[in-house]
Each structure stands twice: as structure tokens, then as C-alpha cells.
Amino acid sequence: MKKWYAVLGDPIEQSMSPFMHDHWFQENQIDATYIPIHVTSERLKETVDSLRMLGCSGWNVTVPHKQAIIPFLDGLEESARIMDAVNTVFRTDDGRLIGANTDGQGFVKSLEELFGQRAQGPVLIIGAGGAARGIAFALKSAGYGPLFITNRTVEKATVLAGEIEGAAALSLAEAESRLGEFPVLVQTTSVGMNFAEAGMPLDLSRLDSAAIVADIIYNPLKTELLRSAEQVGASTLNGVGMFVHQGALAFQKWTGVYPDTKKMNETITMKVGG
Ligand code: ATR
């Protein structure tokens, strides 16, 4: 029987996940489809109950439901427990709904895809919210680091760093003055995103020209931060790769297949870039 998958969010029209997963189903000759479902917070529980009853095989969860969905599931994978957030739900053979989180690992895979073993040495993570948390834990467990976390609200950086062995928090001023020590920077805040805050979350004057600068934002494809990094000769990575790999990891949980991410990266880049 044809399987079906979904993505739940509010808003949801902008999501490129249906395009991406439908493309991968076709490419891999899997008889399945993937639909966007607009779900408001008040309707989240009844939506999950309905998907369970109607036999949905799995789904993604996006803003603002990543945390709120947890009580309605039957269990969590460690990735979701650590992040206290779910972006992927799959069914076990006995029908239980398990929440996972592929965001952090998706970022690590996109970094590796582009730079291989080049991303070595101290990593500066900018931001201390949910995205930073997932990325920090995934980087740590993949052996990157040592990790340094800087954030506008330094107390949040201190809390996150305190949960990760060997990690340290820095104020923005400290991070800016020590920027030359970091061969890898990872920008996880919303600063620079279309329709959010314009500008840059920290000053790059002291950036090492051999550094790798990653921004998890993919719209615009090139944030002001990435543009400035390029101007000093640094290598850059935008958020398209993370988006594609978090989806690929979900797809693998559902189907057992890790789909073609390179071609998808080019397609999504074209879609976003117009
Ligand atoms: P997400 O799940 O996308 O990480 P979040 O958990 O709300 O979202 O975290 C948002 C992050 O972006 C935080 O690090 C936040 O900094 P604060 O902790 O100081 O709020 C950061 N952020 C958001 N807007 C910002 C701005 N205008 N300047 C600097 N940092 C900002």
C-alpha cells in the first residue's frame, strides 16, 4: 500500500520539505508521498492522534511545534531527548511513535560534505538557542572542538557550555577579540535571516582568512556574515546543506535509504536563489 508522510507547522506554505521528499521518493522508486499540514498549536494533539489513527508512516515537525509535540509521542530517541525538541517522527514495527531530532547531525554532515577533515580545531558557536544546542551536541559527539559558545545573552551560553564537557562560554566582546583563534565559526542565530534582524551577530574584523564560516540560515543564501567572511578570503557554508541533510536523515529513518544530497543541494539553492 502507498505510504504517506507529512510535515506539521504553522506557517507551512513556505516549507520545501514536500518538494524534497517527494523528489527523493520518486528518485528511489518508493511508492510514497509527503504532504504539508498546517497545524495551529491548539490543534496539535488532535492532529497527532489523527495521524496515528489514519496510519501516517512518519512526519517532520517544524516551528512552533518541535517541543510541544513531545508529550503526544510514545518515546524519544536520544537526539531528541538531548535537544528537548523533535523534528522527525517515525513508527516502530509495533506501531509506537518515536520522536527524533536530525538537525544537529544534519549540520555536521553538511560541514563534512563540503570540508571533509578540514574543519579541525576550536569551534566558535554563535547563539545559544535550540539550534545551537543541537549543533553543539552533534559537533561534540562527532569529535569536533574544543567548543566555545558566544551569545548576546551570555548567561545562556554559560548554561549550554556547562552541559558539554570541555566547552566554554565567551561574551560577544571576548569572542570578537579572540576571533583569530577559531578556524571554524558556526552562526546559529536568526540575525541575517530574511524578514528577521538585519546585520551580523558579531564583528568579523579579526577573522582568520583561513577560517571556515558556516551560517545555518539558507534564505538569503548569503547572509551579511557570509559575505563579510568571503571578503577576507574565508571559506563559507550556508544553511542549505543542513536543511537537506536533516531531511535526508529523516528519509533514512523512514525508508532505510540515504538519498542523494548533492543534487538536492543544487536544486534547493536554485529554488531559494530564484
Ligand atoms: P532557535 O531554535 O532558532 O535556535 P531560539 O532558541 O529562540 O531559536 O534561539 C535564538 C538565538 O538567536 C539565541 O541565541 C538568541 O540570542 P539571545 O539568547 O540573546 O536571545 C539569538 N538572537 C535572536 N535575535 C538576536 C539578535 N537580534 N541579536 C543577537 N542574537 C539574537
Residue type, 49: D
Find out whether the beta carbon of 151 lies less than 6 Å from any atom of ligand 1: yes
Q: Are strands 212-215 and 75-76 parallel, antiparallel or unpaired?
A: unpaired
Q: How many C-beta atoms lie closer than 10 Å to residue 64's C-beta?
A: 14
Residue 170 cell numbers, joined: 565567551
Mean pLDDT of the residues in the chain: 96
Q: What is the pLDDT of residues 166-217, one digit of tens each?
A: 999 999 999 999 999 999 999 999 999 987 778 999 999 999 999 999 999 9
pLDDT at 117 over 90: no
- Predicted confidence at residue 46, as pLDDT, reads 98
Tens of pLDDT, residues 234-251: 999 999 999 999 999 999
d(CA 48, CA 50): 5
For the CA of 153, the nearest atom of ligand 1: 19
Cα–Cα dist 230/133, whole Å: 26
**Is the CB of residue 190 below 6 angstroms from any atom belonging to ligand 1?**
yes
Distance 201 CA to ligand 1 centre (A): 10
Q: What tens digit of pLDDT does each residue of 257-267 get?
A: 999 999 999 99
β-bridge pairing 97-100 and 88-91: antiparallel
- Give me the mean pLDDT over the 153-168 stretch: 97
pLDDT, position 260 = 98
Test site for ligand 1: of 189, 218, 219, most ligand atoms within 8 A of the Cβ: 189
Task: Check pLDDT > 80 for residue 274.
Answer: no
Atom nearest to 66 CA in ligand 1: 2
- Cα 66 to ligand 1 centroid, rounded to whole Å: 16
Average pLDDT over residues 10-37: 98
In sign, the C-alpha dihedral spanning 9, 201, 81, 240 is: positive
The pLDDT score that the predictor gives to residue 194 is: 81
pLDDT tens readout for residues 51-96: 999 999 999 999 999 999 999 999 999 999 999 999 999 999 999 9
Residue 131: which residues within 8 A CB-CB, separation 6 or more?
103, 188, 216
DSSP for 101-136, please give it: --HHHHHHHHHHHHHGGG--S-EEEE--SHHHHHHH
Q: What is the arithmetic mean of pLDDT over 42-59?
A: 98
Paired residues of 88 in beta bridges? 60, 100
Whose alpha carbon is nearest atom 30 of ligand 1? 152
Bridge partners of residue 187, in order along the sequence: 126, 215
Reply yes or no on whether 45 is catalytic. no
Nearest-CA residue for atom 12 of ligand 1: 189
Is pLDDT at 7 greater than 80 in this prediction?
yes
- Catalytically annotated residue among 3, 66, 156, 222: 66
Cα 130 to middle of ligand 1, angstroms: 9
Angle at which helix 261-273 crosses helix 103-115, to 10 degrees, equals 100
pLDDT given at position 92: 96
What confidence score (pLDDT) does residue 181 get? 98
For the CA of 152, the nearest atom of ligand 1: 19
Q: Taking the alpha carbons of 271, 134, 226, 116 in that order, is the dihedral positive or negative? A: negative
Residue nearest atom 16 of ligand 1, based on CA coordinates: 152
Question: For residue 117, with 0-12 CB atoms within 10 Å meaning exposed, 13-18 middle and 19 or more buried, which class applies?
Answer: exposed
Q: What is the mean pLDDT of residues 9-31?
A: 97
Ligand 1 midpoint to CA 126 (Å): 9
Which among 63, 169, 73 is positioned nearest to 125, based on CA atoms? 169
Output the residue whose Cα is nearest ligand 1's atom 18: 153
| 8 Å CB contact between 181 and 232 | no
How far, in Å, is the centroid of ligand 1 from the Cα of 191?
A: 8
Verify whether ligand 1 is closer than 6 Å to residue 192 (CB atom). Answer: no
Strands 58-61 and 97-100: unpaired
